[in-house]
């Protein structure tokens, strides 16, 4: 069941959730849009019966299940489950908002997903301004942070979201637009969605006519949607193609390509530098020996090789992480983008970064430190170049115990926040 926070309801006033075989309909009072996959229809003031009639006329119900209006459905009312003959309940007939999706097309995780350090990250951006501001979400993911950011933006502000995964970008765009339809229109907000690696931050913003920004958020690592999709090859929990690319629309090498072509020293370096893998030598050697007999094409092939080369159960996690980072040049992209972000920020602008493992965090910390220090003169010791950034918090922010309990993947997360002191030209 979908409980708590729901992706398409901005005020979080979800009251009525109706479940039917092989499909899910979510109903709320006070809206007027129905979504079918990626298609949108407007009902206006419609009763439930008229909604169903419209759905049937579009052949969206009949192709999914034989719907019987007299059948009792499982109804979630204010988080309490009960059975009800919906067609007989006149109090529920004034339905203004319906959302329909086929479970095989859009996974439940799309609605259950709540970003790590959600409130802390959005609050860290300093959105409470009395003027229009420009805010960047460099890692849209499924749009959780982005939607809340847009909701809090002052009038006439600009929001730009980046993601190099086209699927994520489209889902995030739909979510942000649906959840904030009223706010976007009433506040006159400008929203832009860019399919690009955040490594091209400055270039893409320039294309949009943006030369300065007020806040930027990075939520690094791999989203739950990536890990839970066996076809992407990010997780050893599923046997799928050994891909691991964030952007599958270009011709960049996959993880299978990397393992087929890289030399043994290169594989060894990647496993050590990006995975801190103690058994890197044995795994690298096994890759080179195995590919003489057959190609490593699936996550199952690579998992079997790792388990045979190392008795350490954690080796598979570290090895998959290392190859993923290498395939996407994640660390190169992070460093390049952070430097561009510092340059683009206005004074008092905020730079917030969520990391999920020690290597990521170490890189972000190193880049931040470089801009937090004065550069002294070698002879006099007096500062000749003043610091550009200062820490907004003494220590990185970490998830509270309740969040870790509800979402174990958040346990290693850290949020680092810096504030711009001056422009690079000062």
Give the pLDDT band (50/70/90) at residue 46. very low
Q: Considering the domain boundaries, does residue 28 fall inside one?
A: yes
Residues 200 and 340 sit within 8 Å (Cβ to Cβ): no
pLDDT of 336 reads 97
Cα–Cα distances in Å, from 114 out to 111, 119, 407? 8, 10, 9
pLDDT (0 to 100) of residue 286 = 97
Q: Does 204 reside within a domain?
A: yes
H/E segment holding residue 370: helix 358-372
What is the rounded distance in angstroms from the CA atom of residue 101 to the CA atom of residue 32? 16
More reliable by pLDDT, 46 or 297: 297
pLDDT class of 424 with cuts at 50, 70, 90: low
User: Quick check: 55 pLDDT over 70?
Assistant: no
Helix (H) or strand (E) holding 215: strand 213-219
pTM: 0.73
Task: Give the residue-averaged pLDDT of 347-365.
Answer: 96
The arithmetic mean of pLDDT across residues 385-412, rounded, is 90
Per-residue pLDDT at 287: 97
User: Comparing 25-34, 116-125, 293-302, 387-396, which segment has the lowest mean pLDDT?
Assistant: 25-34
pLDDT at 406: 85
First and final C-alpha spacing in the chain: 55
Same-domain check for residues 32 and 94? yes
pLDDT recorded at residue 313: 94
Mean pLDDT of 167-173: 88
Which of 51, 81, 112 lies at the terminal end of a domain, its last residue?
112
User: Among the three residues 328, 346, 369, which one is the final residue of a domain in this structure?
Assistant: 328
User: 417 pLDDT exceeds 70?
Assistant: yes
Contact 208, 196 (CB under 8 A): no
425 located within any domain? no
210 and 336: one domain? yes
Point out the domain boundary residue: 112, 135, 160.
Answer: 112
Same-domain pairing of 320 and 412: no
Task: Say whether both 190 and 122 belong to one domain.
Answer: yes
Question: What digits encode the pLDDT tens for the residues 230-259?
Answer: 888 999 988 999 999 998 887 889 999 999
Same domain, 42 and 122: no
Q: Report pLDDT for 89.
A: 38
Average pLDDT over residues 4-16: 31
**pLDDT tens digits, 312-341:** 999 999 999 999 999 999 999 999 999 999
- Inside any domain, residue 1: no
- 145's enclosing H/E stretch is helix 144-152
Question: 233 and 324: one domain?
Answer: yes
| Domain CATH code at residue 255 | 1.10.150.170
pLDDT above 70: residue 13: no
Residue 119: count of CB within 10 angstroms of its CB: 10
How are beta strands 33-36 and 383-385 bridged, if at all?
unpaired
Cα(418)–Cα(412) distance, integer angstroms: 20
Whether 380 maps to a domain, the answer reads yes
Question: Does residue 123 share a domain with residue 211?
Answer: yes
Sign, Cα dihedral of 52, 55, 59, 62: negative
Average pLDDT value over all residues in the chain: 77
> How many domains does one find in the chain?
3
pLDDT tens-digit series, residues 254-272: 999 999 999 999 999 999 9
φ, ψ of residue 348 to 5 degrees: the values are 75, 5
The domain in which residue 318 lies consists of 225-328
CA 410, 412, 418 angle in degrees (round to 5)?
Answer: 95
Q: How confident is the model at residue 221 (pLDDT cuts 50, 70, 90)?
A: confident
Residue 212 pLDDT greater than 60, yes or no: yes
Q: Kindly state the average pLDDT of the residues 126-150.
A: 95
């Amino acid at each position: 069941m979908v409980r708590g926070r729901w992706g398409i309801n901005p005020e979080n006033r979800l009251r009525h959730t109706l479940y039917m075989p092989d499909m899910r309909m979510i109903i709320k009072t006070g809206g007027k849009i129905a979504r079918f996959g990626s298609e949108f229809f407007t009902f206006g003031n419609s009763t439930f019966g008229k909604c169903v009639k419209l759905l049937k006329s579009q052949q969206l119900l009949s192709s999914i299940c034989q719907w019987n209006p007299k059948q009792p459905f499982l109804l979630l009312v204010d988080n309490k489950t009960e059975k009800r003959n919906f067609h007989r309940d006149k109090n529920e007939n004034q339905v203004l908002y319906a959302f329909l999706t086929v479970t095989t097309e859009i996974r439940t995780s799309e609605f259950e997903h709540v970003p790590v350090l959600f409130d802390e990250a959005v609050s860290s951006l300093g959105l409470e301004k009395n003027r229009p501001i420009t805010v960047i979400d460099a890692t849209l993911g499924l749009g959780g942070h982005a939607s809340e950011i847009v909701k809090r933006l002052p009038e006439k502000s600009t929001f730009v979201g980046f993601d190099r995964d086209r699927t994520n970008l489209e889902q995030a765009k739909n979510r942000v637009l649906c959840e904030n339809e009223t706010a976007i229109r009433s506040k006159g907000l400008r929203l832009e969605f860019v399919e690009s690696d955040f490594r091209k931050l400055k270039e893409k913003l320039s294309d949009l006519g943006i030369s300065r920004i007020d806040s930027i958020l990075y939520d690094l690592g791999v989203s739950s949607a990536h890990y839970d999709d066996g076809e992407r090859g990010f997780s050893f929990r599923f046997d799928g193609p050994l891909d691991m690319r964030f952007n599958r629309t270009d011709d960049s090498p996959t993880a299978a390509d990397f393992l087929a072509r890289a030399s043994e020293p290169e594989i060894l370096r990647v496993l050590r530098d990006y995975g801190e893998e103690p058994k890197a030598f044995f795994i690298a050697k096994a890759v080179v020996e195995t590919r003489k007999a057959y190609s490593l094409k699936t996550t199952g092939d690579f998992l079997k090789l790792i388990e045979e080369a190392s008795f350490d159960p954690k080796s598979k996690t570290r090895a998959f992480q290392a190859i993923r980072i290498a395939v996407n040049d994640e660390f190169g992209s992070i460093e390049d983008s952070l430097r561009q972000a510092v340059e683009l920020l206005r004074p008092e602008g905020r730079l917030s970064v969520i990391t999920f493992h020690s290597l990521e965090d170490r890189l972000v910390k190193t880049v931040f430190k470089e801009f937090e220090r004065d550069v002294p003169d070698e002879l006099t010791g007096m500062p000749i170049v003043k610091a550009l950034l200062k820490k907004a918090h003494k220590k990185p922010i970490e998830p509270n115990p309740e969040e870790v309990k509800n979402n174990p993947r958040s346990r290693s997360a850290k949020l680092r926040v810096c504030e711009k002191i001056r422009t690079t030209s000062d």
